[in-house]
Structure formats: C-alpha cells, structure tokens
Structure 1
C-alpha cells in the first residue's frame, strides 16, 4: 500500500545507514556525545533554533538517548552525519513528524560551523530525501526555517524545495518573536530533477 509509511518504518530491520561521496548517515551512538555537545552548544549553530545552546555534556547524552528512543518508537530518524573517511560526527540530519495519511514528513539538519560552506549538509539532506522518498514512499517533505537563515534557505532551494509561505512571529528565540518560512518538496519534483 503506497501510503503505509508507519508499516514501512516498523518493518525496518535496523537503523538505516546511508553513504554518499563524502558523508555517511548512521545511527547515533553513545560515543557521539562530545561531538553532539560541541554542535548544539555552539551559539552560531543555535542562532536560528527555538532552543538555547546546550550548557552541559549531560544534555548531549540525553539528546542521544532521545534520538535512539524516537527510532525505537519509529517516530523519527535522527541520523548522525559523519565524515565518510574518518567517521567523525559532523552534525545531524532528521526526518520527523511522519504523517502516514498524507504521506509527508519534515526534515531538519545541523552541521558543525567549522564545516559550513563545503556542501556537506546538502549531501546529507539529499541522501535522507532520496532514501525517504524511495523507501518510505513519501509524497512530500517539508522544512520549516527562520527566513533569516540564508544558508539553510539556499540549501533547500538547491535541493528543489519551494518556499510556500511565511508565518509571522511563529517562534520565540530567547525573548525575540521570529518568523518561520515553510518549504515543500514533492516526490515527483525530486525524481524529475537533473542529478
């Protein structure tokens, strides 16, 4: 059945590992705690997130546990984006908010600031999109970003997403109300693009 996303998620025998030219998407491990803490404690990385930077390594350990539990419940796929050669954790890429009835999900991503501008996040998100559209049979993938985040905006447009609207003052970052820009990508647009 084309729309049975939850059944396809439940049938996964293990956490899906995906390999690209320069990055690998793999399951989160306990030994990723230092890298996850470095990622989510960085104010530059967290600038457009709706939560404050992490303040302790224990928060990273808790996040890794949440990531593993979300997969166990098949509610989200929280990949660690790792360097293909060294295996070092560079960031995260997540598929979440699966909606089986409407065959859609959301994508999110974060990359260590030292690796920005190298196309690694684009490669990681492309791997997740390709896998989810083929394997899960998604019809649509959405992304919701702060419109001031130009790098994220360019990444989504490069991958074929379209901006579908601005939601005014939807989130608070600290005490500041911020807008949210919704992007969408349809399966037929992904299949029809030049790669």
Structure 2
C-alpha cells in the first residue's frame, strides 16, 4: 500500500464531497445555497447593498434575477470543485451572509478565503464565527497548509477581522481590480496552519 501525497489527498477529499459540507457553529451554520426564492431574496439583499459592495470587486446587484444566477454559479462551482461558496445562515436558517473557499491549489495545499455579511449583522462577531468554521474545516478536515485573503486596503474592518483570525499582511498589489471604472489596490494577507492552530489553542 502506497501513501498518497498531501496534494493528492486534498484533491481526493474535494472530489469525494457529495455536497457542501454542513458546518455548525454556536450561532450560525454554513450550508449550500438553495435554488429557492427565500435564499435568492436574501442573497439579493446582501449583494445588492451598497455598504456590503463598497469594497467588492463588482457593483451591487440590481435585481433578484442576479441572485438566482449567482446561486446557479455557486452550485456549478461546487460541482466542478472550483470553489465552496457557503451561505451563512442564522438560527432560523435565514441567509445573512456568504463565506467562500476558492482558488484551490491542491498541489501547494492552499486556497483563498472570502466573506460578506449583511450590515444588520455587523459588529456581532458573526463574520469571525463563520470564517472560523470555514478555516477549521480547511485546515483540519481538508488538510490545507495555507489560506490567503485579499482586501481593498481601505477596508479597515475586514483587515481587523483577518488579523484577529491570525492572518498577516504580506504585501499590496497595485491597481489589481476594477469596480466599474474605479481601480483599486489589493492588500494580500496569509494564514499558515501552524499559526491558526497556535491561535486556536490560546482561546
């Protein structure tokens, strides 16, 4: 019996997933989006909000049809194992945000983290709880070595959240993405599994 390389094990683990992993926290859970009106309306409320989209790499949604298209894209991405885009659901199973692992590189055992949360939930520690669920799964279940994140350098609250999670700012890519006609830099942050586990052991 030959032992598989870590990268092969990660690729196999992703391929073996039947659906979105269901991750349960104290106040929220991460689940896959459903192709129904309730989830679509909630995602439109999220990604149609100008406050949420201020630092996003696309303009706010203009109609719920875009949310239906997003759900289809998310489910396609999961089927192709290009990304795992969970919705963040509250205790009533209502969608209040989004949390994503994407740009998987099994050979180098890394992925990128993204998230968004409805403004009504800001300042309550919800984004941190959701990101912690995703990172625990990425490092402890999937076996990643590193997780990246990219933010608009003006997004101080997102930087603060990532730093609390243990991410370290590693540099800035100049003028790396457009929102409409506005070009912005991208602050690059990274989190290593050893730092994540050390931080978790202190809490």
Same fold (TM over 0.5): yes
Tell me how large the CA RMSD over aligned residues is: 0.9
Match of 2:66 among 49, 52, 59: 59
Q: Does 1:48 align with 2:52?
A: no
Q: Counterpart of 1:21?
A: 26
- Paired with 1:113 and 1:125, the residues of 2 have a C-alpha distance of 16
Q: Deviations over 1:20-44 (max 9, x none)?
A: 1111001110230000011011111
Q: Counterpart of 1:184?
A: 190
Offset at residue 135 of structure 1 (A): 1.3
Runs of 4+ in 1 over 4 A off after TM superposition: none
Q: Which runs of no fewer than 5 residues in structure 2 stay unpaired?
A: none
- Paired with 1:53 and 1:14, the residues of 2 have a C-alpha distance of 28
Offset at residue 13 of structure 1 (A): 2.9
CA contact (8 A) 2:104 2:110 kept: yes
1:4-153 alignment, distance < 5 Å: 4=8, 5-31=10-36, 32-83=39-90, 85-153=91-159
Q: Which runs of no fewer than 5 residues in structure 1 stay unpaired?
A: none
- Paired with 2:73 and 2:178, the residues of 1 have a C-alpha distance of 23
